[in-house]
Chains A and B, each alone.
Chain A
């Protein structure tokens, strides 16, 4: 049981490049979400999904796209990377009231 797996762990992008952060969970959780963590600001919700085929925007969705074609996978796409998107990105999944299980994070630097 791997839990929530995020890849890559580290990434450096040039401004304007696009990329996809991968997230997969093997717990059959319905709910999945993406957060970004910036110093002193806690975690902020980017996008979330309550099931396959259903996604919605969180607090800071601009510049990011998501899709949920399967229960297991919830990729986050950066369309045109900007330095303001330099952050640590966490994917999380949840089932009922037991709280979210977080991945180990992707540290992204945009230069």
Chain B
């Protein structure tokens, strides 16, 4: 099955860009997702990218996909304190089950 790995922790200063990285093993995943989890809350879908795309931009969020290296990244521009959360990448097929990474805790310092 799919194995998805993320670094555990990232700390940035407010206003800087954050880059959260993810590697995956299963190249058959049709979609790759980024979710955000704030303390005590469920997971919020931030964005997703189709596996035949290299990049997707959505306001402050940029997703880059390197299929050759099976590497996915999420860049958050102008990071704010409200962006502090745990970020999960996940891979899967449309409507099918997702395999999640262990999550990256983003801490934004004022």
Contact = CB atoms under 8 A, between A and B. Distances in A.
B102 A99 contact: no
B96 A31 contact: yes
Given A42-B88, A42-B102, A43-B88, A58 B43 contact: no
Nearest to B34: A99
Interface in B89-110: 90, 94-103
B8 to A, nearest CB: 8
A90 B97 contact: no
A31 B90 CA distance: 16
A102 B31 contact: no
Contact of B50 (A41, A42, A97, A101): A97
Contacts of B94: 96-97
The bracket for how many chain A residues form the interface is 20 to 34
Contacts of A104: 41-42
B77 interface: no
B33 interface: yes
Contact of A43 (B30, B41, B95, B100): B100
Interface string B19-45: 000000000001101010000011111
A30 B35 CA distance: 21
Interface of B: 1, 4, 8, 30-31, 33, 35, 41-45, 48, 50, 88, 90, 94-103
30 contacts: A4-B42, A31-B96, A33-B98, A35-B100, A40-B8, A42-B4, A42-B100, A43-B90, A45-B98, A48-B97, A50-B95, A58-B97, A90-B43, A92-B43, A96-B94, A97-B30, A97-B48, A98-B45, A98-B48, A99-B31, A99-B33, A99-B35, A99-B45, A99-B48, A100-B43, A100-B45, A100-B98, A102-B43, A105-B41, A105-B42
